[in-house]
Structure formats: structure tokens, C-alpha cells
Chains A and B, each alone.
Chain A
Amino acid sequence: MRFLTCLYTLTLPTILMGCLVFMGCQHTNTANPSPPTTTPITLATWGNTAEITQLKQQLALFHQQHPGTHVTLRHIPENYLQKLHILAAAKRLPDVFLINSYHLPMFAQHGLVQDLSTFTNGHTLANTYYPTALQALSFKTNTNPNALGALPRDVSNVVMHINTTLLDTLHIPHPPRQWTMADFNATAQAICQSQRQVALPKKVYGVSFYKQPALFWLPWVWNHGGELLADNGQFALHQPNGVAGLARYLNFHTGDCPIAPRKNQIGQATPTQWFMQQRLAMMVSGRWVTPLLRQHATFTWDVWPMPRQNPTTPSITGVDATGYALAASSTQPTAGWQLIQFLTRQDAIKAVTQSGLVVPARPDVANSDAFLAPGQPPAHSAVFLDTLAHGHPTPHHPNWGAFEKHLTHTLAPYWHTTNPVSTAQLAATLSPLANTTQHKGAP
């Protein structure tokens, strides 16, 4: 009996472990087995129900045109990046995956994405896609200083959304289309001051305020001639222009008539919700809020470029891009490349654009009715495109997430202060960061 017990205790766990290991080694999705004659590839993406419905239509078309390839869609609606990291750690990265310019560098640094420029046979893509989008998704390798990590689907930039109904109610003239920082200040102050004459149901603030992500406040730094990181990757926000721009932003909360609400005033609500409730007259945001505003806004609104430093300088805003990357571990790179080309062709990007959520990465779609949507707000959708010419890629770096968190924490005393923030004080806070470039968590 003892012999049997020992035998049993050894064999059962061994069998079970063997089964688990065997299951773990299976590569194909058993829920969606593909016929043996087809090439199976996986595609990972985020997106809401409408986006996924539209993507599934595109995949159905792809299957019709490429009957030899079967695509299994992995929809990851929440915590996409975290799950992608875990898939990478498990060596099960999908063949093709959607990724943005913030996160691509981490994957590129570890050699997890293929250089797509090797598939283009020397053909230039600059005529097909916005160069800023291509630039945002590029990275350097030992052999190629312009390796392409993903083929762009869309670009993201932030612009100023203005509730023009509210300006009219407060008898404030609409700002000029090519407005400057001075025009912005005048409008924001007028919104605050005019409520001393015109009684509104609830106090209205001039403009939205975010402490994170940095893409919401970096335009204020750039439009003052400042930089977060210099070309060599060194921290540069502590330089005078950068400090001036950031100080101006942080002082939105200060003075006799603060122009932005603080987080402890806005509470659980988001700036978008406050804009919808007409408690914010101006909001810095991207194209992604357009469907929501089109559907629910009960007022007239439009978009303006971010205010420029002076009439002779361009309006600068961040430009990020999202595109489809091909995993370096993919065993089906040709099929993967076919899929990427298919999903970034004109018709596919047009379909995504018609949702109203994105600025297309292709000028041929961007300049069509699919994006400009005449008759629908915003009346000046072209503002999103005009700003691309002087778009500033948000600094992308493998350590960006850690660095942004560290920066936000360093600036903690200033985010909610009602005391005026001086440039000297801010420079003193930021200067030590210039020496932390080699530390963990900093670029």
C-alpha cells in the first residue's frame, strides 16, 4: 500500500503538471480553431463597441480578400498596455497590435516590434501618412536611424474647445481664430470678471486644468518657447522659457479671479463633464470628445488652435500617433504585414474616422468629408489638421511613464495651490530634476 501511495503521489502531480505544460505550450486559440490550410494570426486592440464593430467588418473584408489568412481578434478594452506587457512577459505577444507613440519606445527598446520600413521596399510613406505621425512612431536601431515601429492609423493632438453660446451669454467677443496668449488671457479673465455683471446659475470657469497627463499642459510650455526634454533627451523644463510657460499654467488657479477650477472644486466630475454642464467655457481636449459633444451638447461649440506665444509664432500642440505594430516574435510576418496594410488603407481609416473619435493619419482621409464632416460641429475641424504642421511630438522615451509620474509628484506643491507661483520658486523646484537623468524613473 505504501508503495502504491508513493507511486500515486508522484504520478498524479506529474500527469497534471504535464497536462498544464502541454496546454500552456499550445499556440493557437482553441476557441477559434482555424482550418489547417490557413495562416493564423492574432490582432490585439483596444476600443469601444462601435470601434470593434467597425473593425470586425474590416476583418470580414480582409478574410474575403485573403482567404488563406485567419485573424483572431483579441479585444482588450481596459488596461491595454498592462495586458500587452503581460502577454510580452509570457512570450505570447499578438502578431499585430495597436500601440501609441507613448508606449512604442518601450517595446522597440526590447526589440519586440519589427522595423516595418523593411517591408516597404524603399517606398516613401510620407505621401500617404502625415510625416508627424510617421515620426512619432519611428525609433532608432543599430542599423536604421529611422526604423518604423508601427504604421499609423490616427494622430492625436489637443486643441481648445470653446462654448460659444456661453461667451455670447456673457457678452464676450469670440477670440480671433489665430489667437495669442494675450487673447487667451483676455478671454479667460473676461469670463471670470463678467460674472460680476451677468448672474449665471452656477459659477463658470474659464478653462480646464489637468495635472496629468502632461499632454494637456505641455502646449503651454511649448508656446512659451520652452521644452520638456532637449533634443539630446536631457531634462529642459527648468530652463527659463519652460518655467515661464508652466508657471503661467499653474497660475490659472491663483489671483483675484482664478480662471480654472481646482480638483477639489471639480471633485468626482471630469473637465469634460463640466464643459458639458456649461461650467467651463473653454476646454483643452482632443478629437476623442467630439462624438460625445455632438450627441449631448445643448450649446454651440467650436475648436480653436492652442494660443500661440505671439502673432509671429505658430500654435504648437503635441502630436501623438497610434498605429499597428508587427511583433518581432510573429511567425507569420508576411500575413501580419498584409493585415497592417489592410487596416491602414484609405477605406479602413475612413471607417474609423467616421466614428468622429480620431484624427486620421492619412491626409487623403483627413481632408475628406469623413473627417471634416460639414454641417456637424465643430465647424472648424480643420484646426486639428492645421496644427499638425507645427505639431510637437510628445517626448517619447522608454521610461516616459515613470518620468511623468516623478515629474507630477515633484510638482505636487503647485498643482492645487492658490498662492501665486513664481518662476524663481518653480525653477528651484525643477532644477534638481536635471541631475536625475540617470536615475531609475527618469529618461
Chain B
Amino acid sequence: MTKSNPLKIWWFVTPSLLGLALLTYLPTLASFGLSFALWDLLGAPTWVGLHNYQQLVTNPLFFKIMGNTVVFVVGVATGELLLATTLAVWVNGLVRGQRWFQSIFFLPVIAPLISVSLVWGWFYDPAQGLLNQLLAPTGLLTALNNGQPIAWLYNESTVLWALIIMQVWKTVGYAFLITLAGLQTIPDEVHHAATLDGSTPWQRFWHITFPLLTPTLFFLVTVTLINSFQTFDSIYLLTQGGPNHASNVLVHWLFEQAFDTFDVGTACALAVCLFVIILGLTLIQWAVRKRWVYNE
């Protein structure tokens, strides 16, 4: 069909290409252009060259927020992949109840984030939150905070970790499902042969399961990193980047610049920085994949 009817291919592809061009490529190009301008959406943009970038790199807040973003992304990606792999290996070994666990673990992924954030907000609440109520009898509150309730979302040292835990809980189901699918493509015969050769469960995991799972994990690492960099809604709903920017990440700050202070130029400069970071990371991953991804 492709050789005989190239016209048909274009019929199918054009709407999608047009959508991409109008809704993705053009705005991306416009953002890049606007990152060299001052614009508050009301007047005409004013060309200022590299001024916005210069302002960013001389602003200590930029580095604080960049640090937060790195901690958040690494925390979420590590937590999500470790937990997803652990859960997937466990569920894959179950004889019964696999479907049930798949549904349970995937449930948070499809739960609306607004309700999830509200529930987690109250879960972490210092005055009436369930977490402090659960920790109180264990003596942990006494050890950590002189018996006082911990203000998880209002304390600079705990807020980012509280958000990471929530984000991992919300998104681990997706990684779990993909990992489980990856595990189920590994032929049982390979494991049986290794068992007959006297290998231990850990050896089977490390020398057979993990290498054969690396193509799946490579995909997950890439997707999780990109998604974590783009996290916005949970932070907007729970902390608005506070206290004192302790939970502010690049995308949330970008939103603040664009729609709180209407400094669209700086917001676009931040978007360009984010684009460069994500692109750079993805390229690095792509370049080093041969070193750790099986069959590449």
C-alpha cells in the first residue's frame, strides 16, 4: 500500500502533522523567541537579548530551585523504579492474584490528582494528619521532633521528601505495569535452566532477570525522568513551592513567572533551560545505553 498509494499516507499523516506544527513546534519556537524578550502579555514584547538568561544565572533562587528539581527528579525516579521493580518481581512470582494486584497498584495512576493531592494534604497535616497520628505511638515523633507533630509540608527540610513520596505513590503503578510486562516476556525456560544449574534466586535475578529487563528499564528511566522534570500539579496544589521555595521546582517556578508575575520572557527562558536539560539527559542516556542495556 505504501508504494502504490503514497497519497493515502499523506491523507492520514497530515492532520497529525498539522496539529503538531500548530500546537507543539510553533509554540516551542515562539517560546524560544520570547525568551529573548520582556513581555507581560498585555503590551508588545520588547527584545532584550540575553537579559532574561543573565538575570536567571545571577539569581541565587535559580540555583536553589534547580537543586530542588534535581533532588525531586532523582528521588522520584529512583523511588519509582526500585519500588516498581520490586513489586513487579514479587507479583510476577505469584501464582494467584496477579490481576488483582495489577489493578490495586495501578489505581493511583488513574485517580484524579486533585483529589489525591487533597487527601495527601490532609494525610500530612500537622494538626489533624493521619501520618502524625500513626507515628505518635511508635515514639518516632518524640525522637524526631520532641513529641511535637511534624509539619511535613510546612517544614523546609521535610517538604520535598513528602512530595517525592506522594509522587512515587501516584506514579509507581505505571512503571510497575510496564516492568511486569517486561518480566513476562522473559522465557521461563531460562530461569528453569539456571535453577537446574543450582543458581540462587538472587543470582537468577541479577544475572538473568535484570539484564533481560534492561530494555524495559531503559524506557522507564527515560520516561520517568522526563515526567518528573515536568511535575507541576501536585506542587501547585499542595505547597505552591513553599515554604521559602523549599519545594519549588523549575516547572512551578516557570508557571509563577508566567502567570503570577506575568514575566513571560523569564518563563520562556526557564522553559528553554528545561528543554535543554531534558534533551541533554535523554541524549546521554541514549549514548550510554549500550553499556548497560542488554541487546543494544
Contacts and interface: CB of A to CB of B under 8 A. Distances in A.
Nearest to B120: A268
Interface stretch (B191-199, B201-209, B258-266): B258-266
A112 B155 contact: no
Contacts of A441: 261, 263
Given A8-B10, A107-B42, A402-B261, A409 B125 contact: no
B154 A263 contact: yes
B154 A106 contact: no
Contacts of A416: 154, 243
Interface in B29-47: 38, 40-43
A405 B260 CA distance: 9
Contacts of B243: 263-264, 412, 415-416
A115 to B, nearest CB: 17
Contact of A440 (B41, B151, B256, B263): B263
For the residues of B in contact with A, the DSSP-based class is loop
Given A4-B7, A412-B244, A265 B260 contact: no
Contacts of A401: 260-262
A82 B42 CA distance: 11
A267 B42 contact: no
Contacts of A267: 124-129, 151, 153-154
A9 interface: yes
B128 A402 contact: no
Interface of A is mostly: helix
Q: How many of chain B's residues touch chain A, expressed as a range?
A: 35 or more
B244 A110 contact: no
B14 A13 contact: yes
B42 A402 contact: no
Interface in B12-58: 14-15, 17-18, 22, 38, 40-43, 55
Contact of A13 (B18, B128, B153, B245): B18
B122 interface: yes
Interface stretch (A57-65, A84-92, A249-257, A306-314): A84-92
Nearest to B150: A264
B10 A12 contact: yes
Interface residues of A, number: 39
B6 interface: yes
Nearest to B51: A440
B173 interface: no
Contacts of B153: 267-268
B151 A5 contact: no
A416 B11 CA distance: 61
A112 B42 CA distance: 8
A207 to B, nearest CB: 18
Contacts of B22: 20
Interface in B118-134: 121-122, 124-129
B10 A5 contact: yes
A110 B42 contact: yes
A82 B18 contact: no
Interface string B42-85: 11000000000001000001000000000000000000000000
B51 to A, nearest CB: 9
Interface in B253-275: 256, 259-263
Nearest to A86: B41
B41 A89 contact: yes
B127 A269 contact: yes
Contacts, number: 96
Nearest to A88: B42
A1 interface: yes
A79 interface: yes
Contacts of B261: 401-402, 405, 441
Contacts of B10: 5, 8-9, 12
Interface in A389-425: 401-402, 405, 409, 412-413, 415-416
A413 B244 CA distance: 8
B291 to A, nearest CB: 42
A86 B261 CA distance: 13
Contacts of B124: 267
B253 to A, nearest CB: 11
Which residue, of B42, B122, B259, has the highest number of chain A Cβ atoms within 10 A?
A: B42
Nearest to A85: B41
Interface string A9-24: 1001100110010000
A416 B244 CA distance: 10
Given A263-B243, A405-B261, A440-B263, A268 B6 contact: no
A205 to B, nearest CB: 12
Interface in A365-407: 401-402, 405
A266 interface: yes
B127 A266 contact: yes
Contacts of A412: 243-245
B42 A265 contact: no
Given A12-B14, A266-B127, A440-B55, A106 B262 contact: yes
A12 B18 CA distance: 10
Interface string B160-179: 00000000000000000000
Contacts of B40: 85, 106, 110
B124 to A, nearest CB: 8
Contacts of A409: 61, 244-245
A265 B127 contact: yes
A5 B121 contact: no
Interface in A1-57: 1, 4-5, 8-9, 12-13, 16-17, 20
A98 B109 CA distance: 39
B269 to A, nearest CB: 12
Interface in A263-287: 263-269
A202 to B, nearest CB: 9
A412 B154 CA distance: 13
Nearest to A266: B127
Contacts of B126: 264-265, 267
15 contacts: A1-B7, A4-B7, A13-B17, A85-B41, A106-B262, A263-B154, A267-B126, A267-B128, A268-B121, A401-B262, A402-B263, A405-B256, A412-B243, A412-B244, A415-B243
Interface of B: 6-7, 10-11, 14-15, 17-18, 22, 38, 40-43, 55, 61, 121-122, 124-129, 151, 153-155, 243-245, 256, 259-263
Given A8-B7, A409-B245, 4 more contacts: A85-B259, A107-B42, A110-B43, A265-B127
